[in-house]
Amino acid sequence: MSGKGIHIEGLKKRYGEGDTAVHALKGVDMQVAPGEVVGLIGPSGSGKSTLLKCLGAVIDPTAGRMVLGDEVIFDNDWKVHDLQALRRDKIGFVFQAPYLIPFLDVTDNVALLPMLAGIPNSKARAKALELLTALDIQHRARAMPSQLSGGEQQRVAIARGLVNRPPVILADEPTAPLDSERAMAVIRILNDMARQFETAIIVVTHDEKIIPTFKRIYHIRDGVAHEETGEGRGFE
Amino acid sequence: MISLAGRDILHSWGKFVFTGVGLGLLIGVTLSMAGIYRGMVDDAQVMLDNTVADLWVVQQDTQGPYAESSSLYDDLYRSLLNMPGVEYAANVTYLIMQVGHGEQDVSAMVVGVTAGTPGTPGQPQYLVAGRHITRSHYEVVADISSGFKLGERIRIRRNFYTVVGLSKRTVSYNGDPMVFIPLKDAQEAQFLKDNDALVQQRRRNAENPDFNRPGIPDLIAVVNASQSTNTYVNAILVKLKPGTLPEDAAEPIRRWMRLQVYTRIQMESILIDKVIDKSARQIALFLVILSIVSAAIVAFIIYTLTLGKIREIAVLKLIGTKNRTIAGMIMQQSLALGVIGFVVGKITATFWVPIFPKYVLLEPLDSVAGFFAVLAICALASLVAIRMALKVDPAEAIGG
């Protein structure tokens, strides 16, 4: 865990070459501090998902610099060799749908990441239970994903994103399938977790209900991120 | 690390078990086919074993008596008895016939053996009921698989025979039960003509000036008599004295008596490499086809199962699961399916083998080889699904 969150400078992503090249990101600058939850908004095709994929080390940026905690992970090229390990250990993901592994129970869904990192099963499960308790869903620890409500599934997904204590969590429209009450609950949890674990959280959203909760918002337009100050209600 | 494959199987065990049962039936058929081949080889070996012969003496330049017809005079065995190393020589005839049993016909290998000489080559060595043939005519010892009962009367050609003994596992190389009858009856049955044919033959002889010469009135009677008797046998089975090497005894017979002689190894080679070779190759090809079909089915099943988990695989890859973990999960599932299939196949094959009309021999070593073949096929079949899984883009888990 780091005290520096994530820092992005001049991040560019170009699809294709020559005349047909599409410049999805035209030099994005972004800074998210530990414990901070920022919103990432923008119309369809503005480059939100491309930015998220670059941050998630799923696609290769064309140019720019990314610093995760104290580590420069990209400087016009990847500076880490094992991107799978980077995603596993340094980046947490929360998706629009929870995408829990249907054949693993709640505990093992959360414990899977530490297990993949080589942590013994019992220790990984203990970490998972600790997080499930923090998210107040420990009573469903042995349940299968199909037995959970949408809100419960999303909380488990958040626990999975947090379990390896990554410096950054990328949340892709985490409230989309939820009603207002549950959506607000999820954002509240993300804020709590960000503070508790000093994690920088970037939330991509279209959800008008939750946009006012962000203190800072990055509005992406035509591949460029514009920082805006949100209404800043937050969840203090 | 938990077993992702194991958890997935436990989670959807019904799907796996039913798929495994389907695959198992196919594997059961494959194992049975292998068993049918083994049964054919075993039938051939049992037939040779039952003769207790060390040498098969047959007509020169033939591969008789099983692969080709062979005719020898039935008194040749006396000369063989005087050859070095020969302890016993016995005439034998082999006829593939339909034996009448009530209203039914039973396909059988009718073996003509010298009556009253139990324990000699060609005779059934052990009986499970009754006694050996003691009379020169109209007695039968039959293999129990023929369905004949002691005391029953059966029909061979025009004559009726009484079943006096029952043997077990005395079958021909193609699995037909052997029916042992006295040699004289077998010789007669081999060329027995119906009355009309006899009348026609005698008319033709009478019209033939070579047979019906005015100066030799008895010649026609002699010719007719010679044509209605059979003094031939198909082979002479030789038992050697202890310590005599088969080839040492065979060579003088070949050289001095101008006969073809086969040792046990040579006769086994003729049966397996020539007589049942085409059937064996047919079965081998069928085995190959079944293996390909099994592989295709496993590949399709695993591919479909994997296709249903694309999103989960994308998530697993996105959260940092190594490719080898995902590949391992798919391969383990494929192998598990193979194991379930093999167990089901082995059990079903064991249960349905006794109802096969021909002998099916399930060799333990074949099962072991089959098990590893199934695992290899399943591992191979999973490669298609693994390839697809490894191509899944982790970005699919992220919207947009």
| Tens of pLDDT, residues B54-106 | 999 999 999 979 888 899 998 999 999 999 999 999 999 999 989 998 888 99
| Nearest CA-CA distance, residue A34 and chain B, Å | 21
- What band does A231 get if pLDDT is binned at 50, 70 and 90? low
For residue A1, being part of any structural domain is answered with no
Using the beta-carbon criterion (under 8 Å), do B11 and A50 form an inter-chain contact?
Answer: no
For residue A44, being part of any structural domain is answered with yes
Rounded distance, CA A117 to CA A173, Å? 27
Using the beta-carbon criterion (under 8 Å), do A93 and B7 form an inter-chain contact?
Answer: no
Could you tell me if B307 lies within 8 Å of chain A, comparing CB atoms? no
Residues of A in contact with B395 (CB under 8 A): 53, 58-59
Give the phi and the psi of residue A9 in degrees, each rounded to 5. Answer: -130, 125
For residue A212, being part of any structural domain is answered with yes
Q: Is the ipTM of this complex over 0.85?
A: no
| Nearest CA-CA distance, residue A59 and chain B, Å | 8
Q: Could you give the C-alpha distances from B209 to B98, B200, B205, B206, B220, in angstroms and in order? A: 38, 16, 8, 8, 10
Using the beta-carbon criterion (under 8 Å), do B319 and A115 form an inter-chain contact?
Answer: no
Q: Given its phi and psi angles, is residue B169 left (phi above 0), alpha (psi -120 to 50 degrees) or beta?
A: left
- What band does A2 get if pLDDT is binned at 50, 70 and 90? very low
Could you tell me if A15 lies within 8 Å of chain B, comparing CB atoms? no
| Nearest CA-CA distance, residue A53 and chain B, Å | 7
Minimal-distance CA residue of chain A relative to B394 = A58
The predicted structure's pLDDT at residue B319: 83
Could you tell me if B397 lies within 8 Å of chain A, comparing CB atoms? yes
Which residues of chain B are modeled with pLDDT < 70?
Answer: 399-400
pLDDT above 70 as % of chain A: 96
Closest Cα to residue B119, out of B234, B232, B237, B235? B237
Q: Please report the beta strands in chain A, taking only residues with DSSP state E, as ranges in sequence order.
A: 6-15, 22-32, 37-41, 63-68, 71-75, 91-94, 168-172, 200-204, 216-221, 224-229
Residues of A in contact with B400 (CB under 8 A): 48-50, 52-53, 172
The predicted structure's pLDDT at residue B108: 94
Cis peptide before B118 (omega within 30 of 0): no
Q: Could you give the C-alpha distances from B169 to B120, B180, B213, in angstroms and in order? A: 17, 13, 54
Q: Which of B1, B8, B319 to substitute to test the interface with A, most A CBs within 10 Å?
A: B319
With 0-12 / 13-18 / 19 or more C-beta atoms within 10 angstroms meaning exposed / middle / buried, residue B225 is exposed
- What band does A110 get if pLDDT is binned at 50, 70 and 90? very high
pLDDT above 90 as % of chain A: 35
Could you tell me if A49 lies within 8 Å of chain B, comparing CB atoms? yes
DSSP β-ladder status, A200-204 and A37-41: parallel
B320 closest CB neighbour out of A49, A87, A173: A87
Closest Cα to residue A167, out of A33, A31, A9, A11? A33
Domains of chain A: total: 1
Q: Quote the DSSP letter at residue A78.
A: B
Using the beta-carbon criterion (under 8 Å), do A102 and B312 form an inter-chain contact?
Answer: yes
Rounded distance, CA A44 to CA B27, Å? 53
Any idea what the CATH number is for the domain that residue A37 is in? 3.40.50.300
CB B180 within 8 A of CB B124: yes
Closest Cα to residue B30, out of B336, B300, B369? B369
Average pLDDT for A15-38: 90
For residue A234, being part of any structural domain is answered with no
CB pairs under 8 A between A and B: 86
- Polymer length of chain B: 400
Using the beta-carbon criterion (under 8 Å), do A53 and B398 form an inter-chain contact?
Answer: yes
The predicted structure's pLDDT at residue B400: 55
Q: Identify the residue whose tokens are 């989960």.
A: B312
Rounded distance, CA B295 to CA A224, Å? 52
Could you tell me if B11 lies within 8 Å of chain A, comparing CB atoms? yes
For residue A208, being part of any structural domain is answered with yes
Q: B296: part of which helix (H) or strand (E)?
A: helix B277-307
Q: Is A236 a residue whose pLDDT tops 50?
A: no
Domain, as residue range, for A26: 6-229
A49 closest CB neighbour out of B320, B323, B400: B400
For residue A236, being part of any structural domain is answered with no
B395 closest CB neighbour out of A58, A102, A113: A58
Using the beta-carbon criterion (under 8 Å), do A116 and B1 form an inter-chain contact?
Answer: yes
For residue A193, being part of any structural domain is answered with yes
Q: Could you give the C-alpha distances from B57 to B66, B90, B170, B276, B365, in angstroms and in order? A: 12, 10, 21, 21, 35
B398 closest CB neighbour out of A49, A102, A112: A49
| Nearest CA-CA distance, residue B400 and chain A, Å | 5
For residue A235, being part of any structural domain is answered with no
Those residues whose C-beta lies under 8 Å from the C-beta of residue A181, and which sit 6 or more positions away, are: none
